[in-house]
Amino acid sequence: MPQLEYFLVAESVSVDQSTNRLSVFNILEEVHLQRVPVPEGMTLPAHADGIPQLTAVSSWNMTDQDRGNRFQVELRLVAPGLQDPIRFVPLAFTAERDRQRTLQVIVGCPVGTPPGELLFQLYLNDKYQASHRITALLDDESVAWTESQGVVLPAGSTLDKPIIPPPSGVLFRLPGDSKVSHSASEED
């Protein structure tokens, strides 16, 4: 079974194309919640307080026995006021190298309305591996969500001035959403 090297939740990441080195930006320890959309089927109000964008990063060390095997990484969020954890779409990978990195981008992460401690949990093949704790505070600034464009805008703005677009070339799915959205890269 792969061994977890590290797990953290940050605002964003960048991977150098020539060296494959990972840069992590703004590790989340405390966040000011903003208004984000809630996917259909979730038991929260139509718009809830949440985190506009985050990236869960994990790195796994493989053994010879892991090579060629398929593994599934799942992120779950335990938040105040929610009966059940929010379960994000799992990522699957086949162990082909000594180390495997997973990056899960969540755009518009609803966490409910009460402030408090958010616990992001990491599972490998449905087995708990680690957690990352974030303190959530309410923020007076509200933002509006334009789902068709996949961007977060300041309240009253128009689509020509997005402030938090999804990262270029990223596939993402909101929790509870059955469709995959694709953020086009500049080369598209």
d(Cα 147, Cα 83) in Å, to the nearest integer?
26
> Residues near 18 by Cβ (< 8 Å), separated by ≥ 6?
none
Contact 183, 151 (CB under 8 A): no
Output the pLDDT for position 50: 72
Q: At 34, list the tokens.
A: 């903003």
Of the candidates 145, 136, 133, 143, the one whose C-alpha atom is nearest the C-alpha of residue 181 is: 145
Q: Quick one: CA torsion of 42, 47, 53, 54, rounded to 10 degrees?
A: -40
Q: pTM (2 decimals)?
A: 0.67
Output the pLDDT for position 37: 61
> How large is the average pLDDT for residues 134-158?
49
Contact 162, 152 (CB under 8 A): yes
Looking at residue 112, its amino acid is G
User: In the chain, where are the structural domains located?
Assistant: 3-178
Output the pLDDT for position 141: 40
> How large is the average pLDDT for residues 175-188?
42
Residue 116's pLDDT band, with cuts at 50, 70 and 90, is confident
d(Cα 181, Cα 116) in Å, to the nearest integer?
30
pLDDT over threshold 50, residue 184: no
Output the pLDDT for position 100: 92
List, for residues 9-31, the tens digit of each pLDDT value. Answer: 999 999 999 999 999 999 999 88
Q: What is the CATH number of domain 3-178?
A: 2.60.40.10
List, for residues 29-78, the tens digit of each pLDDT value. Answer: 988 776 656 566 655 544 456 787 899 999 999 999 999 999 999 999 99
Q: Which of 89-93, 102-106, 110-114 has the lowest mean pLDDT?
A: 110-114
d(Cα 35, Cα 49) in Å, to the nearest integer?
5
DSSP letter at 125? T
User: What proportion of the chain, given as a percentage, has pLDDT over 70?
Assistant: 63
Q: Quick one: CA torsion of 36, 164, 136, 123, rounded to 10 degrees?
A: 90
Look at phi and psi of residue 169 and say left if phi exceeds 0, alpha if psi is from -120 to 50, else beta.
left
